[in-house]
Structure 1
Amino acid sequence: MSHSIAILGASGYTGAELVRLIATHGGMEITALGAHSKAGQTMAEVFPHLRHLDLPVMSKIDEIDFSGIDLCFCALPHKTSQGVIAALPRDLRVVDLSADFRLRDPAAYETWYGNPHTAVEMQGEAVYGLTEFYRAEIRAARLVAGTGCNAATGQYLLRPLISAGVIGLDDIILDLICGVSGAGRSLKENLLHAELSEGVQAYAVGGTHRHLGEFDQEFSALAGRDVRIQFTPHLGPFNRGILATGYVRGEAEAIHAAFAEAYAGEPFLRLLPLGQTPSTHHVRGSNFCDIGVAADRIPGRTVITAALDNLTKGSSGQALQNANLMLGEPETRGLMLAPCYP
């Protein structure tokens, strides 16, 4: 049986990544591609690397007939997704890749995204899409809210340690460097090659990054108390990938053991031997997340690191992983592609 799939926002990076992954899935057929400025164009015109695929022409979202669609991926910008999803048929299963349904508290959404939520009645319905920690809820969900790519990386590093009680909660520091595709495909001056290449820059310094809303929500719920981490993201001169480095108070052996227990049997979370550190090179184009643990020279301090591809495990791969659960497919279907190296 093949599931009929629609992708809204197909002309963006995450939309193209969804097409790339679904092309090898075998149990899904893309029957509708929604776009705005690129409506009327073929996928081959917008993304020539996908020219070998037989795909529908991109159309305006309001021109799509959703009556035969089994699941819709919504890869639209935040503030746009909520209105579009609210207008979709109520029996249509949806995986949203935007930020619009990640935060359970409408007031928190307004704080971090600067405008009131316009589909508040749907926020309570949405299931947070960090697959490894919300599987049961995702299987039964109609609407799944994909995580932020930075938020996913940080949570893979910290959730098991908070749950196991092996780290201090009041002095967690997380640095992260993300490839430029994490900023989307829209033209921006600071993302021009001459502006970005040969340099690295911190941004959203001092606790202003929107993914902190997800960290606050998830870590505090896990700990049963308020947990606020110190987080600084950086923009790197490479296309795709995230490398996160966390500095925590706790013993390296206990931290490594907590990861080993939490991620035993997880197909996409690869714990490295104690003392080894991951690289974005080793996860590029894949749905894997590699995790490393190393003792710091300061007694009782440990450095933890994680690498994933922001477009795959951080976004579109995670979305497909969730869709597999929602449709009763094997969770790994279409996602066991080996990383692309070098």
Structure 2
Amino acid sequence: MVNFPKIPNSTTVTEFLLTRFSDVWELRVLHALLFLLMYLATLTGNLLIVTVTTFDWKLHTPMYFFLRNLSVLDMCYISVTVPKACAIFLLDSRVISMAGCAAQVFLVFLFAYTELLLLTIMALDRYVAICQPLHYTMIMKHRVCVQMTLASVLSGLAYSVLHTGSTFYLSFCQSNMVHQFFCDSPSLLKLSCSDTFSNEILILASAVLVGGGCFAFITMSYICIFSTVLKLPTRGERGKAFSTCVPHILVVTVFLSSGAAVYVKPASNSPTVQDMITSVFYSIIPPFLNPIIYSLRNKQIKEALRRIMTRNLDSGKKDSLKPFPF
């Protein structure tokens, strides 16, 4: 008689439950309203940047090419988490399917990784423009800019496949409560009944390698930029150079520091509420801040927007003067 091994009394997880910031209805409505307002402001601001930098030929430069791609990326990035978060805040159901959870993990890795690389490329663009202005057009050719952007997206796809595959290769049993308002890898590792040590090492190593490498490159670029800017003869030139660099540093600092706070430390030593608040700063705040920093404080974008509006108004007046065809 053959003795079959006993199957442990455990339930395989087929769906997950996301976590709200609060179960009080009034606070849930407030959180949903705040998220929705930030989401709409992000979409509006980034769509404005894409429109202006596309239709104004004076902004067809490498700097605004990368800014346009960053805006498209930000609209996609914030759309991964915020709509679902608003739904779980307002509705009774907090369920997300296994496929939906895997899609969120994949897209968050993809867009976060690609955004970091784009911010690094933008630092390179500023370095060449300020430190090597005579060689700028030769170095930052349109073909080179397109190649760097495509390389960022393709490497981001590989990076996302690696982390999503390693996360969902694990077994999930019994608990299905994700202590986060969206699915991310550190929160899912806590729910696995498999050994997650190799996953934690993979996340830590890749975060240090990619995040640390990009941060080191950006830091070195800005050290060179600031040393060059301080040598400029007039205060106006120095102020203009600083005004284009400081906002970029602010976005990179918020993005990297908040992401490191969640992904670098071990998954078992993470206060739930703290992680949820910190995750807002790397998943929602950067896409929200980018259009504010790069459009409201950018004179060229304001002038381009004014030109486009004037052109549309003039064409509208000409159309209104045409005789009505009977």
TM-score by length of 1: 0.27
Higher helix share: 2
Larger RCO (alpha carbons 8 Å, 6+ apart) = 2
Higher strand share: 1
Q: Which has the larger radius of gyration?
A: 2
TM-score by length of 2: 0.28
